Amino acid sequence: MRPSVSLWHDTLPAGDLATRRPPLPGPTEADVAVVGGGFTGLWTAYSLVRRDPGLRVVVLEAEHAGFGASGRNGGWVSGLLPVSLDAVAAASSRAGALAWQRAADATVDEVLRTAAEEGIDADAEKGGYLRLATTEPQAARLRASVAEARGWGRGEEDLRWLSRAEARSLVAADGVLGATCTPHCAVVHPARLVRGLARAVERRGVVVHEGTPVTAIEPHLARTPFGDVRARVVVRALEGYTRTLAGARRALLPVYSLMLATEPLPEEFWAEVGWRQRATLNDGRRLIVYAQRTRDGRIAFGGRGAPYRLGSRLTTASEQARGVHDALRRSLVELFPSLASARITHRWGGPLGVPRDWWPSVRYDPATGLASAGGYSGDGVAMTNLAGRTLADLVTGADTELTRLPFVGHRSPAFEPEPLRWLGVNAGFRLAAAVDRRERRTGRPAVVLDRALTRLTGH
């Protein structure tokens, strides 16, 4: 089966993917070898050469820059942390948790500012994030999240509750009972951003080799079929693909997120629905869905639930789980019934990386030169930028606010061995879907199922 072509890759400027950058020509030396040409690798390379233009940085990418999650995602540039502030505070401090959240929020503007400065037209717009409540239990959970935010000193300017009328005046989706709203989110065309970023790093002297799979990472060394790269620092930036390296199979779980895109929708639809500022949109269900209004007037709509494969196997078949794409379409039509006959032009998917405790981390050991960043659990479009800037500070020996954030040096536990992992992960998906179904049917919180889900997944 051929990999699915995402809307984003399909709508890149003509010729953008036509020529590949040359692979590694042979054994090479560098100051920093970055493994993986997605947002993590490229933001790290970018931040390194901005701090020290004399550094020799090479990026080694198995396919092409932006081939992975970075070129295929929902395009939410958000300040969302995948781990709760309570969990972060328990493991570090309240001040540390808040500093991380503030840095994540500020990163939304940092991404847009840097893209503009580098002349990258990524269809960006900062319209905030609307999380709709479409059942009473969702409304109760979302109201509780606002109360919780207040407990953290986060005010109306960070998160607020909108009544049904207020929410519908922004996006007239069906069955909306209310919503939360935060300004800390923007949308982008992710492939335009990541491809533009690859060109920006090259303009600053970084060498990007495509078609260059790394087969092993060792202290000060990245091995490829074309020769070894010796470097003071080797950065692992593989996220959902981390398991392709020996010894890293249980570090990050590859979870497939799937997406579809409608045809460009007619003006009458947008006149009826509003959604003018292109806010990112989802609802409070447990099996996550997410949407963006694209600049060319489509809806790109995604969600989880593709079955996890034994041994964390990566396969293009997982990008085309028909049942998941069909369920996504049903969810889209539930929210916008007038889309029942809208044409779906693209269906695709890709792997993201989830650590056992949902904590993203940035790590650097000067003795071995081994560095890594990842584990964004589906909230990586902005977090990769924060991680890249943080890694650049660590590698260049700077002691900054970023190097003191709680994700620095964090070590997540390994996942359970198989087949326990397979059983647990797929049970988690089924439980999440069961919670949503039960709550929709009864209008009451599915307390027991929800508790079981939290116990199983830690989320």
Ligand X SMILES: Cc1cc2nc3c(=O)[nH]c(=O)nc-3n(C[C@H](O)[C@H](O)[C@H](O)COP(=O)(O)OP(=O)(O)OC[C@H]3O[C@@H](n4cnc5c(N)ncnc54)[C@H](O)[C@@H]3O)c2cc1C
| Residue whose C-alpha is closest to residue 293's, from 324, 330, 339, 350 | 339
Candidates 62, 176, 402, 425: give the one binding ligand X (CB under 6 A). Answer: 62
Task: Check binding of 37 to ligand X (CB under 6 A).
Answer: yes
| Residue whose C-alpha is closest to residue 390's, from 380, 404, 379 | 404
CB-wise, 155 or 311, nearer to ligand X? 311
CB-wise, 137 or 350, nearer to ligand X? 350
Instruction: For residues 79 and 95, give the distance between their C-alpha atoms in angstroms, rounded to a whole number.
Output: 17
Please classify residue 169 by burial: count the beta carbons closer than 10 Å to its beta carbon, then call 0-12 exposed, 13-18 middle and 19+ buried.
exposed
Least gap, CB of 365 to ligand X (angstroms): 19
Q: What are the C-alpha distances in Å from 453 to residues 91, 213, 307, 418, 456?
A: 22, 37, 16, 19, 5
Residues 73-92 that bind ligand X (CB under 6 A): 73-76, 78
The one segment of 55-63, 113-121, 305-313, 435-443 that binds ligand X by CB under 6 A: 55-63
Candidates 178, 284, 369, 374: give the one binding ligand X (CB under 6 A). Answer: 374
Q: Which two tokens stand for residue 352?
A: 């993201």
The one segment of 31-39, 106-114, 134-142, 338-346 that binds ligand X by CB under 6 A: 31-39
Candidates 70, 101, 182, 390: give the one binding ligand X (CB under 6 A). Answer: 70
Task: Check binding of 130 to ligand X (CB under 6 A).
Answer: no
Task: Check binding of 368 to ligand X (CB under 6 A).
Answer: no
DSSP state of 153: T
The one segment of 66-74, 106-114, 330-338, 393-401 that binds ligand X by CB under 6 A: 66-74
Candidates 137, 378, 388, 428: give the one binding ligand X (CB under 6 A). Answer: 378
Size of the site for ligand X (CB under 6 A): 45
Q: Which two tokens stand for residue 87?
A: 């969990």
Q: What are the C-alpha distances in Å from 168 to residues 62, 174, 175, 335?
A: 45, 9, 10, 12
| Residue whose C-alpha is closest to residue 445's, from 454, 453, 455, 435 | 435
Task: Check binding of 35 to ligand X (CB under 6 A).
Answer: yes
Task: Check binding of 40 to ligand X (CB under 6 A).
Answer: yes
Instruction: For residues 35 and 14, give the distance between their C-alpha atoms in angstroms, rounded to a whole number.
Output: 27
Task: Check binding of 331 to ligand X (CB under 6 A).
Answer: no
Please classify residue 455 by burial: count the beta carbons closer than 10 Å to its beta carbon, then call 0-12 exposed, 13-18 middle and 19+ buried.
exposed
Sign of CA dihedral 86, 107, 194, 348: positive
The one segment of 21-29, 39-47, 85-93, 113-121 that binds ligand X by CB under 6 A: 39-47
Contact 313, 200 (CB under 8 A): no
Least gap, CB of 459 to ligand X (angstroms): 16
Residues 6+ apart with CB under 8 A from 276: 170, 270
Instruction: For residues 50 and 52, give the distance between their C-alpha atoms in angstroms, rounded to a whole number.
Output: 6
Task: Check binding of 128 to ligand X (CB under 6 A).
Answer: no
Closest residue to ligand X, based on beta-carbon distance:
380
Give one DSSP letter per residue of 25-55, joined into a string: -S-EEEEEEEE--SHHHHHHHHHHHHH-TT-
**x-marked contacts with ligand X along 174-213 as a string, rule CB under 6 A:** ---------------------------------------x
Q: What angle do CA 362, 366, 367 make, to 5 degrees?
A: 130
Residues 138-177 that bind ligand X (CB under 6 A): none
Least gap, CB of 234 to ligand X (angstroms): 11
CB-wise, 116 or 246, nearer to ligand X? 246
Residues 208-247 that bind ligand X (CB under 6 A): 213-214, 237-241, 244
Contact 428, 382 (CB under 8 A): no
CB-wise, 141 or 346, nearer to ligand X? 346
Least gap, CB of 219 to ligand X (angstroms): 17
Task: Check binding of 385 to ligand X (CB under 6 A).
Answer: no
Residues 6+ apart with CB under 8 A from 212: 23, 24, 60, 61, 62, 224, 226
Q: What are the C-alpha distances in Å from 29 to residues 116, 229, 238?
A: 32, 6, 21
Candidates 8, 9, 39, 325: give the one binding ligand X (CB under 6 A). Answer: 39
CB-wise, 72 or 154, nearer to ligand X? 72
Residues 247-266 that bind ligand X (CB under 6 A): 257, 259
Least gap, CB of 50 to ligand X (angstroms): 18
Write out the residues near ligand X by the rule CB under 6 A.
35-41, 60-63, 67-70, 72-76, 78, 213-214, 237-241, 244, 257, 259, 290, 302, 349-352, 374, 376, 378-382, 384
